[in-house]
Structure 1
Amino acid sequence: MNISEVQSHYSNIINKYDNELGQLKKVIFWVGTIRLIISIAAIVSTYILWGDTTSVIITLIAFIIAFLALMKHHNKLFIKKSYCEQQIVNAQNELKGINYDFSAFDGAPEKADAEHSFSLDLDLFGKRSFFQSINRTVTSFGKDTLANIFIHPFENKKDILDQQQAVEELKQKAKLLAHFRAIGQMSEADSLNSKDFSASFKRPSILKNSILWKSMVYIIPLIHIIFGLLIYFDVIVGGYYSLVYILTLGISFIPGKKVAQIMETFNEKSKVLDTYSKLFRIIEDEELKSAKLKNIQSQLKGITNASHAINQLKSYHNNLTVSYTFPVLMLFNPYLLWNVKYAIKVEQWTEKYKQEIEQWFEAIAQFDMLVSMGTFAFNHPDYTYPKVADKFIFEGKALGHPMLHRDICVRNDVNISKTPYFLVITGANMAGKSTYLRTIGINHTLACTGLPVCAESLSFYPCRLVTNLRTADSLADNESYFFAELKRLKMIIDRLQSGEELFIILDEILKGTNSEDKQKGSMALMKQLISLNGNGIIATHDLLLGNLEQEYPDNVKDYRFEADITNDQLTFSYKIREGVAQNMNACFLMKKMGITGL
């Protein structure tokens, strides 16, 4: 499959559901019209048959049954209509995404953290971020799980390979990906916070362990049966029954505050339980092959499947909720102690499934994350899964940045195959150094999360990435730019000294000091990084760092990005070349802009 076929896939989805939507709208119109006709017919029939009570009752019952059946069918049609509309919107957004417009998706700006080892430097979160380009999650905890895999990528080879297999399997199930997302988006599924939901199960029981109220659920109906029989056989007069009704109605109000507490536990959450039941069922019913996906599925399937159990809770809670509405309040409560019965059932449910609930929501969070990853892999058929090495290596052919448009993205190779080893990259302003560093960093991150990378091929070792590309002042901490950069470099040194294996990417070391200090400090830092068995890439304007290759021929390799001046015009190839940069462009640009008389 190529990118044109991916675009055709989404265009076909739009056409398919647009046609289906048109048919549904016609059916909805006619069902609504028939319901109106039934309502009018019921009124007319009642007027005509008014003198015949039996006929009026029978006719009204028939019309009511027909009306309710059509209303139920009408609601189902509206659900299908909403589903079609969601599929169309999603497909349209994917077509925009393929053309690098990710505005429809959540970039999780709240996850941006300047203290993180690399996320801010690589623009992982926020507007026009990589996370915005990949995020297709439908639950809040799925979004958190997806964000966490980028904040803390895998460091274990098996974890990465398992993730690759799961992503590749879901990539082949485009229909499943679209279905899962549409179902999850049809209600506010992300309004349910799994931690708060799980906490609800740890509250002490209110009615479940009360022998009195558990007994009353059976005693109250028995009282009504006994008095009914006594009246039927003329043992007592019927007038006494009103006293029994008033007594049992009063009894049903006694535990009202406790029942309300139990109902409030899931009050808002019950609205999305149906959605979660459907999402669980999608995972349970799918035939899955990869180890990771099968493990997720196994967490949902047991003696009682998660979808069935959640649906059961929804039913119990709905029955509990209606106990506060008429006529249940005046009929079911005094006769069946309906409110207490279902309050106890809700508590019994929480007791039965309190061990499984966290497991269920962890499973759906993982699957939600993988749906985003599978969609990413599907949308990038030209990307490739990297090979995971057992020792440090980062060798790739034709690496590109996934956020640069495919038509303008210039791809470059990278070769770091031993330890310690650094690429020192020199070059003019705007020649491509910083983009190259971010390209390496983002592809290393993709590789460590189990995603395909923007490259023809890549072999890598999943060590921890540390970058220093965008250091900033901190006014709040009264911290200068230079001091902030030193803290970052100190963190890198400390981690290397503690024995961590790091992949280090630095852009213009010691930017906040003067030229002489910068040269001395940069040379000293590079020598220290080599002595501590560091690996990585350093970009710099300081051509003296190019001398390091002569001093450390087995540990340093010089590369450059050149600015070519032809016929008084500045051009960039953005292709990496061996050696130290020859052409710098600052004076040329200043002259062209009339800033200097040079």
Structure 2
Amino acid sequence: MNILEETKASYHRIAEEARLELNKMQRQIYRIGTLRLLLFIAGLTGIIYFRAESWTFLGGIACVTLLPFLLLVKYHNRLFYRKEYLEQKIAINEQELAALDHDTSAFDEGKEFTDATHLYTFDLDVFGPHSLFQYINRTSTQPGKTRLAAWLNRHLEEKNAIFQRQEAVKELAPELKFRQHFRILGLLYKGESADETELKAWSQSPDVFRTKKLLRALPLLVTGTNLLCIALVIADILPANLYGIIWTCFVAAGFVFTGRISKMQAVYGKKLQILSTYANLLRQIEEQPMQSALLKQIKEEIGGEKQQASLAIRRLNKLMDELDQRNNVFMYVILNGLFFWELRQMIRIETWKEQYAADLPRWLEAIGQIDALNSLATFAYNHPDYTYPNILDKVPSSFRFCATALGHPLMHRDRCVHNDLTMEKRPYFIIITGANMAGKSTYLRTIGVNYLLACIGAPVCARQMELTPARLITSLRTSDSLNDNESYFFAELKRLKLIIDKLQTGEQLFIILDEILKGTNSTDKQKGSFALIKQFMTLQANGIIATHDLLLGTLINLFPDHIRNHCFEADITDNELTFSYRLRPGVARNMNACFLMKKMGITVAE
């Protein structure tokens, strides 16, 4: 059994074990449900049948039947939660099996992050349907999804940062149980979602009640007065009806704060419910042993193994749940009249906020980082044949990007053709020529996607890779803009101007271009392309250019040590066009446009 088959087998095994446990759970739920019904019927029947008996006797019936009924209700709820957990566990393992066959439709595609003006993500299909993000994404929280998108939008450029993330991914990759448990806990939340901005806005919002001494004293004053009045009533010193009037006044006075508290609850109440899920996730992080430097750092941000973060958020969630009791009119009247419950809870919540508000962003950051790292670790686990690239130090005068058997991770493994790449100095450009459909554009995207994966700390689809990190920038599918009244050609010029400006400021770039100056005539295009590549050489740039213009291959005569020509050929055998998709040295010789036109019945003048 090869390594990939072992990966599939592990997902099959986990799904099957969860399915067997789910079947047992469903039978148990049925039995407990039946027992609950019988207890309720027995209790109700007993109370009705013996209604003429003493209260003690009826109380005994209630204790024997209805008390176990209430305990079983709580137990039943736990069983239903476990049932949902197992259903989710089966689902995510079946999704991984589908993903191993390149079906990623179950995962979020991150289309909201699509940006046609981005330096590389639009060209490389990083976001959107059938994208790299959808292929990698296993996040179950909004902070995690945001972090993963941010890493893909802005890759790392320093060796140490990339190495630390690689080490974290390597450590998490075999931790399948931890990763899946973390993901399931996030997916089980079904309430209203809240993003980090909203949670941070709440944590930074000004206190309304706690800052006023009189309001802080009111709950204590009301509670003390109630206790004193109850004692006086019991001692037969205060008439009960007079205490009733006092208590009613307290209830009425409590309404003074109801409007402001209701407004806060309406804005944040539902969204803060997600904190219970975050508390569970933080606890998983706290309990998981961490060895790599980055994971240890993340764990320290939430208080290490002291469980400071999870306990604090559980405390806040408990306070919010207690405040929700005001939604029950009966409980609201009783609690407010006795304790000024609304005001008391709001002061407690604001006290929590003052104590922990500064820590909340760090806790959310920790959840997001672990969630995103789990996605990269799952990607690594699903591709045991991929390799972690060797990252070199950035040196202004040097650049290296060498890879063996480089393939596109989004292409099905049975159809993916692997090619090599060698680039060992600065400046250096590879010019790729070739016929239509021969594989030039796919090769460029293969290089770009693997370069991006390498610079976010993930393994790459290659047998071996070594690279110097630099800012990736591409121009593969520049589009016109009707909204900006911008032509295709002008849009491309803007991108090229951006590249030149960045190089002139001293930025180290790795440039990937497909068919320079596509929007102009052949003479202008050729002249402009020559001038652009010469300027790239002057500015010490590195990159790859694909083109149909075979004359660009003559640039090697001007820069024999800094330019190499490679090509993808179309072979015509027995009047049939075939492609090997193999990179070959030199300039392409066979073009296929006229051949294809003739095959389709379009007359081409000889």
TM bin, normalised by shorter chain, reads: over 0.9
Residue 407 of structure 1 aligns with which residue?
A: 414
Aligned residues: 598
Change (3 A) 1:231 1:493: closer
Structural mapping, 1:195-594, within 5 Å: 195-264=197-266, 266-301=268-303, 305-390=308-393, 391=395, 392-594=399-601
Q: Which digits, 9 at most, give the CA deviation of each residue in 1:147-175, with x for residues without a partner?
A: 11111100111100000000111101011
3-state SS of paired residue (1:289): coil
Structure 2: runs of 5+ lacking an equivalent: none
Question: 1:346 Cα deviation (Å)?
Answer: 0.7
TM-score of the superposed pair, with normalisation by structure 2: 0.96
Structure 1 window deviating more from structure 2 (468-477 vs 66-75): it is 468-477
Preserved CA contact (<8 Å) 2:431 2:565: yes
Residue 183 of structure 1 aligns with which residue?
A: 185
Residue 73 of structure 1 aligns with which residue?
A: 75
| Equivalent-residue separation in structure 2 for 1:326 and 1:209 (angstroms) | 28
Preserved CA contact (<8 Å) 1:423 1:558: yes
| Equivalent-residue separation in structure 2 for 1:144 and 1:227 (angstroms) | 55
Residue identity matched to 1:351: E
Residue 119 of structure 1 aligns with which residue?
A: 121
Q: Which digits, 9 at most, give the CA deviation of each residue in 1:210-248, with x for residues without a partner?
A: 222322222222222222332333334333222222222
Change (3 A) 1:81 1:438: same
Question: 1:72 Cα deviation (Å)?
Answer: 0.4
Preserved CA contact (<8 Å) 1:262 1:347: no
Match among 164, 181, 188 for residue 162 of structure 1:
164
Question: 1:190 Cα deviation (Å)?
Answer: 7.8
Residue identity matched to 1:68: L
Question: 1:304 Cα deviation (Å)?
Answer: 6.1
Preserved CA contact (<8 Å) 2:433 2:588: yes
Structure 1: runs of 5+ lacking an equivalent: none
Preserved CA contact (<8 Å) 1:427 1:584: yes
3-state SS of paired residue (1:435): helix
Question: 1:273 Cα deviation (Å)?
Answer: 2.0
Q: Which digits, 9 at most, give the CA deviation of each residue in 1:101-121, with x for residues without a partner?
A: 111111111211121111111
| Equivalent-residue separation in structure 2 for 1:272 and 1:173 (angstroms) | 25
Residue identity matched to 1:215: A
| Equivalent-residue separation in structure 2 for 1:494 and 1:253 (angstroms) | 63
Residue identity matched to 1:46: I
3-state SS of paired residue (1:510): coil
Preserved CA contact (<8 Å) 2:194 2:272: no
Preserved CA contact (<8 Å) 1:138 1:189: no
3-state SS of paired residue (2:403): strand
Structure 1 window deviating more from structure 2 (453-462 vs 474-483): it is 474-483
The answer on 1:26 being equivalent to 2:27 is yes
3-state SS of paired residue (2:571): strand
Structure 1 window deviating more from structure 2 (346-355 vs 331-340): it is 331-340
Preserved CA contact (<8 Å) 1:208 1:348: yes
Change (3 A) 1:322 1:64: same
Q: Which digits, 9 at most, give the CA deviation of each residue in 1:253-294, with x for residues without a partner?
A: 332223334434531123322211111111111111111111
Preserved CA contact (<8 Å) 1:423 1:537: yes
| Equivalent-residue separation in structure 2 for 1:468 and 1:273 (angstroms) | 42
Structure 1 window deviating more from structure 2 (268-277 vs 458-467): it is 268-277
Change (3 A) 1:304 1:431: closer
Preserved CA contact (<8 Å) 1:323 1:329: yes
| Equivalent-residue separation in structure 2 for 1:368 and 1:93 (angstroms) | 17
Q: Which digits, 9 at most, give the CA deviation of each residue in 1:363-413, with x for residues without a partner?
A: 111111111111111111111000111241100000000011101100000
Residue identity matched to 1:248: F
| Equivalent-residue separation in structure 2 for 1:235 and 1:141 (angstroms) | 60
Change (3 A) 1:483 1:225: closer
TM-score of the superposed pair, with normalisation by structure 1: 0.97
3-state SS of paired residue (1:255): helix
| Equivalent-residue separation in structure 1 for 2:520 and 2:247 (angstroms) | 88
Match among 172, 175, 180 for residue 173 of structure 1:
175
Structure 1 window deviating more from structure 2 (113-122 vs 73-82): it is 113-122
Preserved CA contact (<8 Å) 2:191 2:270: no
Match among 126, 129, 132 for residue 130 of structure 1:
132
Question: 1:320 Cα deviation (Å)?
Answer: 1.2
Preserved CA contact (<8 Å) 2:512 2:544: yes
